[in-house]
Structure formats: C-alpha cells, structure tokens
Chains A and B, each alone.
Chain A
Amino acid sequence: MSQLIKYYNSRLDTQKIAPTFEIIKNITMPNIEALEDVVVQTRRDILRMVHKVNSGHPGGSLGCTEFFVSLYHEMMELKDGFDMDGAGEDLFFLSNGHISPVFYSILARKGYFPIEELNTFRLIDSRLQGHPTTHEGLPGIRVASGSLGQGMSVAIGAALAKKLNNDNHLVYSLHGDGELQEGQNWEAIMYAAGNKVDNLISTIDRNGQQIDGPTAEVLPLGNLSEKFTAFGWDVLEIKDGNNLEEVIAGLQEAKSRTGKGKPICIIMNTVMGNGVDFMMHTHAWHGKAPNDDQLETALAQNPETLGDY
C-alpha cells in the first residue's frame, strides 16, 4: 500500500470525519498497486453494505468496481467540494442506479460524504437510498436513477449545457447491458450522434447478465458495437473490464477521441460478481445479499486495505 494511501487512511482513522477535499486533492494515485488497494476495499464496502441490510445489488457493483476506481481516481477532473451545476469539472451519471453500493463507496472514499455514512445504506432516514437520488441531498449525485434507461438522456443534456457554457470538461455515463432493452436509450443514442454530442463518453457494462438470466436468453442484445457504430458513435471495446490497466487505457483512449464530432461508446466486458469466486459468472447475485458465512468467505478473498468503515 502506498505511503499516500496510508496517510489518507490514518487521517480518517484518527479524525473519524469526512476527508476534506484538500487531503484528497494532494493524493495522486501513483500506481496500479495503490489503485488495486482501493478496488479491494471498495469490494469490501459493497459486500458489507448489502450484507448489513440483507438487500441491494452486489453482482453488478463488484463487476464495475475497477471502472469506478479508474474513473474517479484516475480519469475525472473534479473540483473541490460539490455543487449541482458541476461547472468546470467532469461529470458522471450512473444510469443503472441499482449498483449504488459501488457508487456510494467510491463517493465516500473520494470525500463527498463521511465514510461512516456507508453504515446507513438502505436504512430509514438515510441519504444512501436503495437507488441513488438527489432528494436527500447526498453530495456527488446529480440525478435520481434506478428506473432504467433514463441516464443517457440526462447525460446528453448535461453535455449540451457544457457546450453552451463553453465548458470543455467531459460527461461520463454508465449503463447496464440489459438496460439497453429500454427504448429510451435508442432515442438518446440516435440524438447524441445526430447532434454531435462529442463531449460524452458512455460506457456499457457488458456482463451479459440480467435479473432473469443471461441477456442472450432474456432478450438478445445482438452486436452492441455494431449497433452503436451504425447509429454514428465512435465505439471502442475494453476486453477485460476487471483489469485496471485495461480499463484505464480504454478510458484514456476514449478521452482522446472526444471533441471529434462523435459521442464515444465503450463496450466494457465485465464479470458480474467479480472478486468473489462464488458470485462470479452468474446472475444469481444480481440483487441478493450474502449471508453471514458467505460474507466471511467473500471478505477473506478481499483482505482489508484502506480500513473498513
């Protein structure tokens, strides 16, 4: 574990408060090893959050952990603090809101709200609702999501506002692959290409699973890369979305292609439940929490790195 992360962690332990953005700002994740530590700790957070309330969606959260860590710790240009408008910084929209555990863990450990607040996930009076929302004023969230298929439209709107404001920062969004069965996505995909929304990078979490089973059985999605290309997007693929270096390289490549007249789509192949052997390669853990024994097994596979909340 890097010295910086140790420092970061020690500050948290001693102060028991939200890390300030000043602390975060001075930390540049220096290497993949340090980022791996964040990944493993995020997995622990996800597992412990859903276990505590015996509900939530660990499968997709675990599958996208490397993506979130890469995005928030390597890719995005972020301001200190949080304001809704997000002028002068990159924005991220989570369309498949059910993977809120990974989002909350990342936001908390990035300093948007106290890490201890992860303890309140899905509990009454919490800001950490089952699906992310602005309604309780949780910093880091800019729109409610959970009812699927709406996030790309919102991301497009935010990208258009950035263009109107002459703000050169980017808008990122994440979507489940099964979510693309919602028709609104295709309205948005058509619009973004037709209107050259080239400050938008939309990533598809291609884990091939949805609640009722494999996407290929529930409703085949066909060749997503060809579909996005046919709609006029610039498409690239991340072959292993659970390999940090590949994810970062893919995101960097995507970023380099922005501003050239086309929206960017990343088809990111992931394994649902990644990092916990018995949760991988199945849709069984889409929306199911581990029991006490399963949690113990899962956590043993992901030893504590930055310190549990």
Chain B
Amino acid sequence: MKKYIDQGKNDTRSGYGAGMTELGRSNPNVVALCADLVGSLKIETFIAENPERFFQIGIAEANMMGIAAGLTIGGKIPFASTFANFATGRVYDQIRQSIAYSGKNVKICASHAGITLGEDGATHQILEDIGLMKMLPGMTVINPCDYNQTKAATLAIADYEGPVYLRFGRPKVANFTPADQKFEIGKALLLNEGTDVTIIATGHLVWQALIAAENLENKGISAEVINIHTIKPLDEEAVLKSVKKTGCVVSAEEHNYLGGLGESIARTLATQHPAPQEFVATQDTFGESGTPDQLMDKYGLNNKAIEEAVLRVLKRK
C-alpha cells in the first residue's frame, strides 16, 4: 500500500483562500464576490491586496450570481463565493438562466459543503448540491479532497473558460496531496493500485478511503483507491479501467446517494460495464447539529463505513 503523509491538518476553504491570494497577484481579470461571508471563505488577503476587484454583495445571493454573470461581459473572471447551500439551492434559477444557459465564465465557489459544516445543523448543511449542479448542462463540478488540491483547483479553474462549481468545506482535515501537484480538470487520480475492489472517493472521503484501504490490506483485501476531484465531466476511462480489473466498486462522498458521484459512476458502469456497487453516502436524509466527526460517524461517512461497504460489495462479485 502506497503511504500518504498528512502534512498537517488544514481546511479546504483555506486552500481556496490561498488560491485566491495567488490569483489576485497573477491574473488581473480575476474578481471576487462574496455575500457577507468573507471570513468564512478566507479571502481577506485577496481583498486587502485587490480592493477594487472585490465586490461585497451583502446577504443577497441571487443578486450576486447575476452580477457575476454581468461581470463576465467585459472579460472579468468572477469567483462568486458563499456557503454551498446558498451558492446552489437558494439561487438555482439564477445560476441556471444567467450563468449556465447563458454560458458565462463564472466560478461558483462554495464552502461549508456537506455535513461537516457541523454545529449549525441541517439548514446550512447541503447534501444535494452536487446533484443540483451536475444536472446543469455545461456546468463543471469539482470537489477537491484537501487544502493543497483545493488551492490547485482554484488556480486551474481560472484558466478554464466556462461555468464551474467548486465545492469545499469547513473542517480541518488531512492535507496529503503534493503541494506542487498539477490540477487537471476531469482527470481522476489513482492513489493506490489494488486488485480486489475499487474505492472511488471525492472530497473529504478520499482520506477516509486511504485509511480504509490500509485496514483492508491488513485483512488481505487489495483495494484500488481513486480520487475523483472532478465529478463532471467524470473521468469514465479511469473508472472503467479500474472496475474492469477489480470487478466491483465502492463510491464514497459527503452527499446524498441520490444525485451524487455514486450515481454518475453507476450510470457509467450500467451503460458500459455493469458491476456490483455500494454507495457510501447519506441515505436521502437531512443532517443535524454535531461535531463533524460525530456526524460523519452517525451518517456513515468514514473509513469504517467504507470498509463495511467493501465487504458487502465483495460478496456480490
């Protein structure tokens, strides 16, 4: 099993903030918008260094999405940021008409995604956002796994022309991807080679998948681990190549099983290479208050849940 070292726990939203700082210095067309959550989005440095390129919209997310769409007319690259709940469900029609259908080069950057938002509870924990965003024609959906990858993704989407949904989170989690790793949109990363089962994870579940794979190795099970940071467009080739080898798959994500990464994988397999699949995801439920660890445990979103899913799927091979 390939070893991955946690370089020190950090939050993915800080990766976004660091990416924005760098973009502020390197790309004069990048502008930032925020709906009264500057501190949560970690963009203080960008604002301090580029005050004229920052737009504080206030608590008005619908207006923010429209203004972001308008800023592209004139060559700007707007990064519109708020909590994932308010960046998607609250403004779905604004994103749909003014950004996606209009083909605008807006980057929707959503922090506090998923259940790990924690104590604020279900009003703020969105577990449906990947589904909402991936259903929009032309929308790219990215969910990086750690600080370094979130920073790299932030830089990469500035160079990509078209609407992007970039999803990240609040808690400090293991930071294990190389700081200099190039981020290729739509390209899966093979983290560990295995032969018995494929574990495909996204976001915070990638580190959990690595822990699960190590535990499984001790039980004599060889697990292949793939990090899918880009949910749409999905790297179907990587999925198929791995599952053709292992014969079964476990998908893992901090999202409802309806509409998430797991469904995208299932569609790929159903149409091209049917294989048993188990879903590590929330089971069509809202979240609740609690610490991130407690919630990930209660809702079955950790390495233990992945291990159990692997044992289930192996029986179905």
Binding site for B on A (CB under 8 A): 84-87, 91, 93, 133-135, 142-147, 149-162, 164-165, 167, 183-184, 187-188, 190-191, 194-195
Q: Let me know if B67 is at the binding interface, CB within 8 A.
A: yes
Set of chain B residues within 8 Å of A157, measured between Cβ atoms: 66-73, 78
Set of chain A residues within 8 Å of B52, measured between Cβ atoms: 164
Q: Let me know if B89 is at the binding interface, CB within 8 A.
A: no
A87 to B73, CA, bound (A): 9
A269 to B72, CA, bound (A): 32
Instruction: Check A85–B62 contact: CB distance below 8 A.
Output: no
Instruction: Check A158–B60 contact: CB distance below 8 A.
Output: no
Set of chain A residues within 8 Å of B104, measured between Cβ atoms: 143
B interface, over-half SS: helix
Instruction: Check B73–A143 contact: CB distance below 8 A.
Output: yes
Given contacts A135-B101, A156-B63, A156-B67, 5 further A-B contacts (CB under 8 A): A85-B75, A93-B70, A143-B69, A162-B74, A184-B63
* Chain A proximity of B63: nearest CB distance (Å): 4
Instruction: Check B70–A144 contact: CB distance below 8 A.
Output: no
Set of chain B residues within 8 Å of A147, measured between Cβ atoms: 93, 96-97
The one of B55, B75, B103 that contacts A160, using a Cβ cutoff of 8 Å: B55
Q: Let me know if B42 is at the binding interface, CB within 8 A.
A: no
Q: Let me know if B102 is at the binding interface, CB within 8 A.
A: yes
Instruction: Check A161–B73 contact: CB distance below 8 A.
Output: yes
Instruction: Check A86–B74 contact: CB distance below 8 A.
Output: yes
Instruction: Check B76–A144 contact: CB distance below 8 A.
Output: no
Count of chain A to chain B residue pairs whose CB atoms are closer than 8 Å in the complex: 120
* Chain A proximity of B80: nearest CB distance (Å): 10
- What per-residue 1/0 map shows which CB atoms of B74-105 lie under 8 Å from chain A? 11101000000000000001101110011110
* Chain B proximity of A183: nearest CB distance (Å): 8
A87 to B69, CA, bound (A): 16
Instruction: Check B70–A188 contact: CB distance below 8 A.
Output: no
The one of B66, B75, B96 that contacts A153, using a Cβ cutoff of 8 Å: B66
Set of chain A residues within 8 Å of B94, measured between Cβ atoms: 150, 153, 184
A146 to B94, CA, bound (A): 11
Instruction: Check A150–B66 contact: CB distance below 8 A.
Output: yes
A144 to B138, CA, bound (A): 15
In the assembled complex, 19 residue pairs joining A and B whose CB atoms fall closer than 8 Å, in A order, are: A91-B73, A135-B102, A143-B73, A143-B98, A143-B102, A144-B101, A147-B93, A150-B93, A152-B66, A153-B62, A154-B69, A155-B70, A157-B73, A158-B73, A158-B74, A161-B72, A164-B52, A167-B74, A188-B66
Please, how many residues of chain B have a CB less than 8 angstroms from a CB on the other chain? 32
Instruction: Check B62–A184 contact: CB distance below 8 A.
Output: yes
The one of A87, A134, A184 that contacts B66, using a Cβ cutoff of 8 Å: A184
* Chain A proximity of B51: nearest CB distance (Å): 12
A188 to B31, CA, bound (A): 19
Q: Let me know if B57 is at the binding interface, CB within 8 A.
A: yes
The one of B60, B74, B96 that contacts A85, using a Cβ cutoff of 8 Å: B74
Set of chain B residues within 8 Å of A149, measured between Cβ atoms: 62
* Chain B proximity of A41: nearest CB distance (Å): 29
The residue of chain A having its C-beta at the shortest distance from the C-beta of B98 within the complex is: A150
The 8 residue pairs across chains A and B that have the minimum distance between CB atoms: A157-B70, A153-B66, A161-B74, A187-B60, A187-B63, A157-B67, A154-B70, A158-B70
A85 to B55, CA, bound (A): 20
The residue of chain A having its C-beta at the shortest distance from the C-beta of B137 within the complex is: A135
* Chain B proximity of A226: nearest CB distance (Å): 22
A183 to B94, CA, bound (A): 12
Which of B53, B78, B97 is most buried by chain A, counting CB atoms within 10 A of its CB? B97
Q: Let me know if B58 is at the binding interface, CB within 8 A.
A: yes
Q: Let me know if B65 is at the binding interface, CB within 8 A.
A: yes
The residue of chain A having its C-beta at the shortest distance from the C-beta of B60 within the complex is: A187
A151 to B67, CA, bound (A): 9
Which of A146, A154, A194 is most buried by chain B, counting CB atoms within 10 A of its CB? A154
Set of chain B residues within 8 Å of A195, measured between Cβ atoms: 55
Contact A87 B57, CB 8 Å, known A153-B65, A164-B52: no
* Chain A proximity of B81: nearest CB distance (Å): 15
Set of chain A residues within 8 Å of B103, measured between Cβ atoms: 134-135
Set of chain A residues within 8 Å of B97, measured between Cβ atoms: 144-147, 150
The residue of chain A having its C-beta at the shortest distance from the C-beta of B31 within the complex is: A164
Instruction: Check A191–B63 contact: CB distance below 8 A.
Output: yes
* Chain B proximity of A182: nearest CB distance (Å): 9
The one of B58, B60, B76, B98 that contacts A161, using a Cβ cutoff of 8 Å: B76
